[in-house]
Amino acid sequence: MAQVKQEHPWYYESSKASPQQALAELRTAWDRCFKKVSSQPRFKKKGASGDSFYLEQGTKSKPEINNDGKRVKLPKIGWVRLHEPLPITAFHNCVISRKAYRWFIAFKYEIEKPVTPPDRPTVGVDIGIKELAVCSRRPSLCQCQSLSSDEPSNETPATACQQASQRI
């Protein structure tokens, strides 16, 4: 990669992570092919299949792609406005993709797991064929009878479903 960058100075205008990630994905594809897990990789034309590129900034322990809730600051691109607000956090890498002339960003970030109280009651439910549901704390619910075509009913399927769900 270093030799190619010396020959073509425009490589310095883009992120270093994009071509490195493309080569890593190509290596993974060929490794899967040689292990007989998948077929030979097919090279795709630009614009014909989902265009995407990979961006990386900082390290996993110190991520440097920041957002302020409504915008994301991407390396070499700058601030990009988001369609929906996000929690204010930093992340290490992201994938920008284009589908149907629209751009999307995908990234991972860590959140703290909410603490659940240890004395929370639990209920076991077994869904079966003979009985609709057998609960560990309640008597079982009987299976609803289906309506045959020759028996007219004043009850719509939606009301029958609501009544059955209220019994649960």
Q: Tens place of pLDDT for every residue, the chain, 168 residues?
A: 667 777 877 777 666 666 777 788 888 899 998 999 988 888 776 766 678 787 777 777 777 778 888 888 887 788 888 888 888 777 778 888 888 888 888 887 777 788 877 777 777 767 766 666 666 666 655 555 555 555 556 666 667 667 776 766
Token output for 76: 């070499």
Token output for 21: 């990630």
31: helix, strand or coil:
helix
- The rounded distance, in Å, linking the Cα atoms of 103 and 67 is 17
CB 57 within 8 A of CB 50: no
- Write down the pTM of the prediction: 0.50
Burial class (CB in 10 A: 0-12, 13-18, 19+), 168: exposed
